[in-house]
């Protein structure tokens, strides 16, 4: 994730980095090394599609350089067979590529699908390469759309939403990739996978939940982190910081935003029993930004004074979008997350004035899919207009891409397991949306204990969007999922490394929701064994 934040700082913001799987454990009975001719297998078209082409190319492996805006790389990838199947939906004039990478030797008998990021429906090569390096046969689809920030496909030549490509992006292409990918594995290796997994974060996390909700038999295990569920709601809600700044005509600098965030973390840090820069239980953090009014902030050689207007903007951003009458619409940016990610600013003009610089993912959603007006001026959206756009997005797109159906009974019946972690300092997708979804599933399906049998959520203190395994921390989440699926051992905690306020690496056991981590009162705060998981005070 540090790479992604570097990209953001350079002015090329993206919604998520490519998600890198970490588990490489062999199945208990370890599949024999596959040896085969890399030739195009016969592929039966999934329902509603037509196969346009099937190609197979043997690749040498080595270092894979990620394509598109996300970039990245993975080295040490073994030789693999790349099978590309191009699908179309007759009458829709679309062309979706499904790429399956199969290790030439050392296949572990497992199948792994890799999800996308922002408006990228699938992987850019790094996730596929990492999966192959870890012994998996891996699949990903581009759904017939473009790169992470490419939204040229949103509207057709008549200015109407391209419903076929939106349907591809939202749901059907991921299912078709599962069907085609497993068929390719069977055709090339002569047998299907012993276990099938989905792996994604952000957009990829949403796709994982969509699979569990709509196609519960596709995967034995789904790893869906920082999931972009509630897409029709949160995608509009994440434009709220810009709307607040524009309507209040107040644009705090990044230095000032950071001062508020740091003060909140400092105030709420010790709620878990120890001061270490990691806030475990945000629900108990009630820091009031108005306490900073009049504080001096050093910024680029200048001294700024925090104003009441600055504090009012931060309060509204943390609180989240509301209607003009005060009714809550959605959660705000989590306390402790980088406020400037969604409350971005332009560089000062000749007179030193700045304006809002919207994060491109929600800006594109609101302009193209909701307003259907590429020329919409985000800076002119009033609070009442925002409410209208929010409700319009809900009405038009909840059933298409909301991905928030709490009925997971089909997935439970199929024997599937769903594992999710979400960073408590996620600057792009409010953590509370994932928590609310989990609670709705509990109400729908008989309570927390029954849901824990197949679906577990872990919240990661101090962790940014898709931050674990990207330089901000690590956890063997995929290993935990495979152990759960293949050996029936559900993870009670998710062992992780995190980075504290002093930028030191510490170990923590992420607690299964709704439990939170609490310091035992003795022992090294940098070591997981000094903490235990307890029920939060509010639960």
Return per-residue pLDDT of the chain as tens, 539 residues: 334 433 433 333 333 333 334 444 444 444 445 568 899 999 999 999 999 999 999 999 999 999 999 999 999 999 999 999 999 999 999 999 999 999 999 999 999 999 999 999 999 999 999 999 999 999 999 999 999 999 999 999 999 999 999 999 999 999 999 999 999 999 999 999 999 999 999 999 999 999 999 999 999 999 999 999 999 999 999 999 999 999 999 999 999 999 999 999 999 988 888 888 888 877 788 999 999 999 999 998 999 999 999 999 999 999 999 999 999 999 999 999 999 999 999 999 999 899 999 999 999 999 999 999 999 999 999 999 999 999 999 999 999 999 999 999 999 999 999 999 999 999 999 999 999 999 999 999 999 999 999 999 999 999 999 998 765 789 999 999 999 999 999 999 999 999 887 788 999 999 999 999 999 999 999 999 999 999 987 53
Catalytic annotation on 465?
yes
Catalytic entry in 331, 465, 512, 517: 465
Q: Is 488 exposed, middle or buried (0-12, 13-18, 19+ CB in 10 A)?
A: exposed
Catalytic entry in 123, 232, 426, 477: 426
DSSP 528: G
Specify whether the CB–CB gap between 527 and 506 falls below 8 A.
Answer: yes
Residues contacting residue 117 through CB under 8 Å, at least 6 positions apart: 14, 15, 16, 17, 18, 19, 70, 148, 201, 202, 203, 204
Specify whether the CB–CB gap between 528 and 535 falls below 8 A.
Answer: no
Specify whether the CB–CB gap between 159 and 372 falls below 8 A.
Answer: yes
How far apart CA 283 and CA 390 sit, in angstroms, is: 25
Specify whether the CB–CB gap between 123 and 117 falls below 8 A.
Answer: no
Q: Beta 493-499 vs 505-511: how paired, if at all?
A: antiparallel
How far apart CA 38 and CA 184 sit, in angstroms, is: 11
What does 381-404 look like in DSSP terms, one character per residue?
--HHHHHHHHHHHHHHHIIIII--
Catalytic entry in 202, 331, 393, 530: 202
Catalytic annotation on 524?
no
């Amino acid at each position: 994730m540090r790479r992604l934040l570097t990209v953001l700082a350079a002015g090329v913001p993206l919604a998520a980095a490519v998600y890198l799987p970490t588990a490489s454990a062999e199945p208990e009975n370890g599949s024999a090394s596959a040896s085969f001719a890399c030739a195009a297998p016969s592929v039966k078209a999934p329902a509603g599609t037509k196969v346009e082409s099937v190609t197979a190319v043997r690749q040498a492996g080595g270092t894979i350089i990620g394509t598109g805006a996300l970039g990245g790389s993975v080295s040490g990838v073994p030789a693999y067979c790349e099978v590309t199947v191009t699908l179309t939906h007759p009458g829709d004039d679309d062309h979706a590529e499904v790429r399956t990478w199969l290790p030439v030797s050392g296949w572990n008998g497992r199948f792994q699908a890799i999800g996308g990021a922002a408006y990228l429906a699938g992987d850019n090569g790094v996730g596929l390469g990492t999966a192959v390096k870890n012994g998996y046969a891996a699949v990903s689809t581009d759904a017939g759309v473009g790169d992470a920030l490419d939204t040229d496909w949103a509207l057709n030549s008549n200015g109407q939403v391209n419903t076929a490509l939106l349907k591809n992006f939202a749901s059907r292409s991921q299912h078709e990739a599962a069907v085609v990918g497993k068929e390719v594995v069977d055709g090339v290796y002569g047998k299907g996978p012993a276990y099938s997994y989905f792996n994604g974060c952000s957009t990829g996390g949403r796709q994982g939940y969509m699979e569990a909700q709509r196609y519960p038999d596709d995967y034995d295990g789904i790893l869906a982190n920082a999931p972009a569920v509630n897409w029709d709601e949160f995608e509009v809600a994440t434009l709220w910081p810009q709307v607040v700044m524009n309507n209040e005509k107040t644009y705090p600098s990044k230095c000032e935003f950071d001062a508020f965030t740091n003060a909140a973390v400092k105030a709420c840090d010790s709620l878990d029993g120890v001061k270490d820069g990691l806030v475990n239980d945000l629900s108990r953090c009630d820091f009031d930004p108005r306490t900073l009014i009049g504080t001096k902030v050093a910024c680029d050689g200048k001294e700024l004074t925090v104003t009441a207007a600055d504090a009012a903007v931060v309060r509204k951003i943390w609180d989240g979008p509301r209607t003009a009458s005060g009714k809550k619409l959605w959660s705000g940016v989590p306390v402790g997350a980088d406020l400037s990610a969604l409350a971005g600013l332009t560089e000062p003009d000749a007179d030193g004035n700045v304006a809002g610089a919207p994060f491109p993912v929600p800006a594109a959603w609101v302009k193209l899919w909701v307003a259907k007006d590429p020329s919409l001026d985000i800076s002119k959206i009033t609070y009442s207009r925002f409410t209208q756009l929010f409700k319009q997005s809900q009405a038009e797109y909840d059933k298409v891409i909301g991905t928030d159906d709490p009925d997971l009974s089909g997935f439970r019946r199929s024997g599937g397991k769903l594992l999710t972690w979400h960073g408590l300092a996620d600057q792009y997708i409010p953590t509370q949306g994932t928590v609310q979804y989990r609670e709705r599933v509990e109400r729908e399906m008989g309570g927390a204990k029954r849901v824990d049998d197949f679906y577990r959520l872990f919240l990661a203190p101090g962790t940014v969007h898709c931050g674990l395994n990207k330089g901000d921390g690590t956890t063997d989440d995929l290993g935990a999922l495979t152990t759960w699926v293949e050996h029936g051992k559900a993870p009670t905690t998710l062992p992780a490394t995190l980075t504290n306020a002093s930028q030191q690496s510490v170990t923590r056991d992420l607690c299964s929701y709704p439990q939170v981590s609490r310091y035992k009162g003795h022992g090294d705060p940098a070591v997981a064994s000094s903490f235990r998981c307890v029920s939060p005070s509010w639960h």
